[in-house]
């Protein structure tokens, strides 16, 4: 605590991201990064952009990137917003669409940044229970509320809700905004981006951090009715006009355009995920079926906290959440086949 902090700063409980350790080289399976490098075309575009033009501000409306994204998703650029990672888009969306009078709803087990944003903007929220298998019941979102936010697939459970389930939530909440956070949708789920034409209350948020291997570039995108996009722009332009720099714009455009590379690396991640899931089940783990680039696993006997520590000692970093309901689970990002083999070998060594 500092004498100079505001009352708000003092009350904050900031989000804690997964470790990015510097003490040694780990097999990093803890922050859902992509094990494959970004598209060579994206890297080339970033190198080309690293020139004299960096003395100039970037385009504040990010028109070429938004046009590229819109063309890729069959929309117009008026339906597209981009930000410095999808976290920043979420940070704009909360004050843009939610208010202090009615609570925001999100699942009890979900991305732990949502309550942090609510707290920052002093917005009330209520969590909606998932069932014992962490499944989301769309019907439980048919209660009075001031807006809904949920990831699909959910994090960290990897549970996927079918499009009709999302539709049910959208139908029941026509008076307020429903944010579907599709950070992990490209690994096998069906996106609801096409529904933005039908539902003016739908905002879909995606990221280039996972399926396009660009966590380090910080680019997120959102899709919605032009009124929602304008709402996001009003907040953004009350905060920072230049959220995406010239390198990010250039790299993101090239990454979106390189569809073949995106599809190839996603296919590899999915194949490795299925192989890893089968091997973990053989070792006695319960693995929730995943359509993401991570698996959420528990063992009937072995404590997750102990496995986490023992794996870390062996140079393998996974994610452990010491929280109610999920403290017997590990979240394991999907790496390369070699990385997952090392992870599975370490588990065998630990006599799991």
Contacts of 24 (CB under 8 A, 6+ apart): 315
Which residue among 35, 38, 85, 138 contacts ligand PMP (CB under 6 A)? 85
Q: Please count the residues of this chain forming the interface with ligand PMP, following the rule CB under 6 A.
A: 12
**58 in Cβ contact with 246 (< 8 Å):** yes
Q: Which is nearer to ligand PMP, 107 or 346 (CB)?
A: 107
Which residue among 146, 147, 220, 335 contacts ligand PMP (CB under 6 A)? 220
Helix axes 259-282, 337-349, angle to 10 degrees: 20
Which residue among 155, 193, 229, 252 contacts ligand PMP (CB under 6 A)? 155
Residue 199 CB, nearest approach to ligand PMP (Å): 20
**Pair of tokens at residue 310:** 């023992």
Which letter, b or e, does each residue of 270-279 get, where b requires 16 or more Cβ atoms within 10 Å of its Cβ? bebbeebbeb
Q: Which is nearer to ligand PMP, 125 or 347 (CB)?
A: 125
Tokens 């359509």 sit at which residue? 291
User: What is the bridge-based pairing of β-strands 316-317 and 27-28?
Assistant: parallel
Q: Collect contacts of 260-265 with beta carbons under 8 A, ≥24 apart.
A: 261/39, 261/40, 261/41, 262/39, 262/186, 262/211, 262/212, 265/34, 265/36, 265/211, 265/213
Q: Is residue 207 within the footprint of ligand PMP (CB under 6 A)?
A: yes
Q: Is residue 147 within the footprint of ligand PMP (CB under 6 A)?
A: no
Q: Which is nearer to ligand PMP, 219 or 297 (CB)?
A: 219
Q: Which is nearer to ligand PMP, 123 or 180 (CB)?
A: 180
**235 in Cβ contact with 120 (< 8 Å):** no
Question: Which of the stretches 85-93, 99-107, 225-233, 246-254 binds ligand PMP when contact is defined by CB under 6 A?
Answer: 85-93
The verdict on whether omega for the bond into residue 197 sits within 30 degrees of 0, i.e. cis, is no
Q: Which is nearer to ligand PMP, 209 or 290 (CB)?
A: 209
Site for ligand PMP in 111-130 (CB under 6 A): 111
Outline where 73-137 has alpha helix (H). 85-97, 113-120
Q: Is residue 251 within the footprint of ligand PMP (CB under 6 A)?
A: no
Pattern 159-198, ligand PMP, x by CB under 6 A: ----------------------x-x---------------
Structure letter (DSSP) for residue 105: E
Paired with 105 in beta bridges are 126, 148
Which residue among 35, 103, 146, 151 contacts ligand PMP (CB under 6 A)? 151
Contacts of 340 (CB under 8 A, 6+ apart): 272, 275, 276, 279, 334
Q: Which is nearer to ligand PMP, 181 or 258 (CB)?
A: 181
**Radius of gyration of the chain from Cα atoms?**
20
Residue 64 CB, nearest approach to ligand PMP (Å): 20
Q: Which is nearer to ligand PMP, 169 or 347 (CB)?
A: 169
Question: Which of the stretches 79-87, 248-256, 281-289, 339-347 binds ligand PMP when contact is defined by CB under 6 A?
Answer: 79-87
Residue 31 CB, nearest approach to ligand PMP (Å): 7
Task: State how far the Cα of 206 lies from the Cα of 220, in Å rounded to an integer.
Answer: 6
By CB under 6 A, name the binding residues for ligand PMP.
85-87, 111, 151, 155, 181, 183, 207, 209, 215, 220
């Amino acid at each position: 605590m500092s004498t100079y902090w505001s009352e708000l700063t003092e009350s904050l409980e900031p989000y804690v991201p997964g470790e990015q350790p510097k003490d040694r080289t780990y097999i990093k399976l803890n922050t859902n990064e992509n094990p494959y490098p970004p598209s060579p075309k994206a890297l080339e575009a970033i190198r080309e952009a690293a020139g004299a033009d960096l003395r100039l501000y970037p385009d504040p409306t990010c028109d070429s990137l938004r046009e590229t994204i819109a063309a890729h998703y069959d929309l117009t650029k008026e339906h597209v917003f981009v930000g410095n990672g999808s976290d920043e888009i979420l940070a704009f969306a909360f004050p843009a669409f939610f208010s202090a009078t009615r609570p925001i709803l999100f699942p009890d087990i979900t991305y732990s940044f949502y309550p942090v944003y609510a707290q920052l903007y002093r917005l009330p929220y209520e969590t909606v229970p998932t069932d014992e298998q962490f499944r989301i019941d769309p019907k439980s979102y048919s209660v009075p509320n001031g807006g809904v936010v949920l990831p699909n697939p959910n994090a960290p459970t990897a549970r996927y809700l079918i499009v009709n389930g999302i539709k049910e939530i959208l139908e029941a909440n026509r008076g307020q905004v429903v944010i579907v956070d599709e950070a992990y949708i490209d690994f096998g789920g069906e996106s609801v981006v096409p529904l933005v034409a039908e539902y003016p209350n739908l905002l879909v948020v995606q990221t280039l951090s996972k399926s396009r291997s660009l966590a380090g570039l910080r680019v997120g995108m959102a899709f919605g009715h032009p009124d929602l996009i304008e709402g996001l722009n009003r907040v953004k332009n009350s905060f920072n006009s230049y959220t995406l720099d010239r390198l990010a714009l250039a790299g993101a455009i090239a990454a979106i355009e390189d569809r073949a590379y995106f599809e190839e690396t996603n296919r590899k991640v999915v194949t490795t995920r299925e192989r890893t899931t089968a091997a973990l089940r053989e070792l006695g783990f319960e693995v929730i079926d995943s359509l993401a680039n991570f698996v959420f696993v528990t063992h009937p006997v072995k404590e997750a906290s102990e496995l986490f520590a023992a794996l870390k000692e062996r140079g393998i970093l996974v994610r452990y959440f010491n929280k109610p309901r999920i403290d017997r689970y590990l979240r394991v990002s999907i790496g390369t086949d070699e990385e997952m083999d090392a992870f599975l070998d370490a588990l065998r060594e630990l006599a799991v």
